[in-house]
């Protein structure tokens, strides 16, 4: 099956959000309850950040910060990159790989529609992107004046 857009992957999927004033413990409970790797952080309905499992591990647990007292705002990734539902899967993969993150909020007209996860993307799409990038890098090194 050919997937044309990010929206096709997220169709019918619920988005899970949390407030920046919530505790990290509450966020972890939500991550566990909904079996997701990241939450969109919203303030007054607007996206202000993303809280991922990696954020919790690196910025809270790994730094011995108490999850009952630490706020989501203290460890979230603020002002995340976003994409729209009409974005091609290839472009979304490129944004995520080049940005070094595994979750990408999908937004339309300021409304968060979903959260694309790297695990949502079929392996063949990731492999095609990685091969393309490797070929482009090799070409660039061999032909620096043509880039």
Give me the number of domains the chain comprises. Answer: 1
Neighbours of 34 (CB within 10 A): 11
CATH label of the domain that carries residue 141: 3.10.580.10
Domain ranges, residue 38: 6-146
Scan for tokens 């790297």, then name that residue: 118
Q: Give the residue ranges of the chain where pLDDT is below 50.
A: none
In a domain, 135, yes or no: yes
In a domain, 34, yes or no: yes
Burial class of residue 40, CB neighbours in 10 A (0-12, 13-18, 19+): buried
Structure confidence by residue, pLDDT tens digits, 36-50: 999 999 999 999 999
pLDDT for res 127: 65
pTM of the model: 0.84
Calpha distance 18→118 (Å, rounded):
21
In a domain, 1, yes or no: no
């Amino acid at each position: 099956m050919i997937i044309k857009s990010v929206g096709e992957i997220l169709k019918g999927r619920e988005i899970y959000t949390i407030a920046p004033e919530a505790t990290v413990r509450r966020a972890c409970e939500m991550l566990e309850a909904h079996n997701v790797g990241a939450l969109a952080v919203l303030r007054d309905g607007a996206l202000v950040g993303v809280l991922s499992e990696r954020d919790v591990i690196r910025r809270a647990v790994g730094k011995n910060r108490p999850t009952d007292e630490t706020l989501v705002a203290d460890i979230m990734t603020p002002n995340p990159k976003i994409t729209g539902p009409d974005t091609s899967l290839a472009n979304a993969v490129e944004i995520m790989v080049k940005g070094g993150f595994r979750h990408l909020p999908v937004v339309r007209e300021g409304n968060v529609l979903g959260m694309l996860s790297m695990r949502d993307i079929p392996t063949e799409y990731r492999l095609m992107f990685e091969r393309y990038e490797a070929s482009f890098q090799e070409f660039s090194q061999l032909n620096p004046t043509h880039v």
